A and B are shown apart, each in its own frame.
Chain A
Amino acid sequence: MNAAELLRRLGVWALGLLRGLGHSAFFFVDLVRSLPWALRRLFLTIAQIHSIGNYSLVIIAASGLAVGFVLALQGYYTLSRYGAAESLGLLVALSLVRELGPVVTGLLFAGRAGTSLTAEIGLMKAGEQLAAMEMMAVDPKERVLAPRFLAGIIAMPLLAAMFSAVGILGGYVVGVLMIGIDPGAFWSQMQNGVDAWDDVGNGIVKSVVFGIACTFVALYQGYEAQATPEGVAQATTRTVVVSSLAVLGLDFVLTALMFSAPR
């Protein structure tokens, strides 16, 4: 392969990438524009919150509990070296609320709800259901995508809050009930040390952003999927890969921004 051929391939790749980015940006703008529609037909959105949110509760709660357990064990291991084991409650709460709650919920959401959204939309497309809707003068972006998008944005912070709450209970079980830290110290340190805006607020902002990102990726992949079994399978895989990377990437950016904000 000579240099010209290499350059040509690079150009084709870069153009494809730019075209894809532009296409998805337009798709995002369309989705945001159709959000008012989802508000007007609230019952559709509520049904989606139920299927996206409620059915994800078990995996979110189970993971939250497990993370809380481990966090308490590892935290105690470190804190007890400095004689600060009483701060375990604070450590568990801050780690969960600021970081682990939103991020792990985002990753689980991509795997649990995101894949099912992609597969559902992709199969609707393969069965010509979206085309049929279009021919009935009903915009599938408004009727099908918008309620799911709004539902994802609403469900994610709620799930993240649930994750953190269950995680803190897990920390309590291990730290107080099993290791024997003083329960008063566990809760009061947490109460004094966790700030409503700086810590909880930042966590909420993160989870809302992850909700937008994950739901958008899932809907985009489903809507643009090739209308074949392989196409839907590939789109579902891409949903998990792209959403997970988006969550981790956005998390770094958001955390950096939040640290640089004046206190």
Chain B
Amino acid sequence: MKNDNLVQIDRVTFGYDQRVILSDITMAFPRGKVIAIMGGSGCGKTTLLRLIGGTLTPQRGTVSFDGSPVNPRDRESLYALRRRVGMLFQFGALFTDMTVFDNVAFPLREHTTLPEPMIRDLVLMKLNAVGLRGAAQLKPADLSGGMARRVALARAIALDPELIMYDEPFAGLDPISLGVAANLIRRLNDATGATSLVVSHDVHECFLISDYVYVISSGRIVGHGTPAEVQASDDPEVRQFIDGEPDGPVKFHYPAAAYGADLGLRP
């Protein structure tokens, strides 16, 4: 029987030197769903994506994809896994020396032996899905931030991946591009039957498009559930994040000596 969860994260701990980024995280991403991982900047969201993609190795715990553990040391199986995963980088990470068309064709040309006319058709279909068929011959430098990200999305889905990972897909987009991006994520997920993993700190968009939400703060899961459940949560850390309060469990001030002492005033 096929496992219902495409990705399973079991008690994973990760850190650099003494700094712990993720501690004892357990998550499951069921097939066909859009899962949002939310949290403030630097809370370890992107690290989580890198652990799934196998560019980082957890210090403890296991990450498994489709039932088999991700092993960054085994190049063969790692590359086989990555062919089934599409990833959208925060700023697109398009190849600046290639046209939009060649960017989207890149994974097809590298991993398949399809004839060029068929690649052309596939690329145009993917570009059409993100609304940029007309931009095929432009260079990445000619695109706006939102367009670049849509091209990168077309490239990420070129090989029809089972898992699509989005690293901050909404960061720095204008309201129109933002709505377009959110819509695309949901539509592509439902149309292709893939599983989507959205790492973001945009509360509104994430609640709108996702089936399940995890909220991370300082390396721990502080809340999870359907968007409605998380919104109704009364955990102070979740509340501060959702309501965007400047001070709370996450302090406004970076740790420092007493203000008066720093200014040389008497206590």
Contact = CB atoms under 8 A, between A and B. Distances in A.
A129 B106 contact: no
Contacts of B83: 137
B95 A129 contact: yes
Interface stretch (B85-93, B126-134, B193-201, B211-219): B85-93
Contacts of B95: 124, 129, 132
A134 interface: yes
B192 interface: no
Interface residues of B, number: 20
Interface string A129-150: 1011011111000010000000
Tell me the interface secondary structure of chain B in the complex. mixed
B223 interface: no
Contacts of B79: 137
Interface centre among A134, A135, A138, A143 (most CB of B within 10 A): A135
Interface in B64-111: 79-80, 82-83, 85, 87, 89-91, 93-96, 106-107, 110-111
For chain A, the bracket of interface size reads 10 to 19
Nearest to A47: B97
A135 B91 contact: no
Nearest to B53: A135
A127 interface: yes
Contact of A128 (B53, B85, B93, B110): B93
A199 to B, nearest CB: 40
Contact of B91 (A127, A136, A137, A143): A127
Given A127-B96, A128-B91, A132-B89, 20 more contacts: A127-B93, A128-B89, A128-B93, A129-B94, A129-B95, A132-B87, A132-B95, A132-B152, A134-B55, A134-B82, A135-B53, A135-B55, A135-B85, A135-B87, A136-B106, A136-B110, A137-B79, A137-B82, A137-B83, A143-B110
Closest 3 CB pairs of A and B: A132-B93, A137-B82, A128-B93
Interface of A: 124, 127-129, 131-132, 134-138, 143
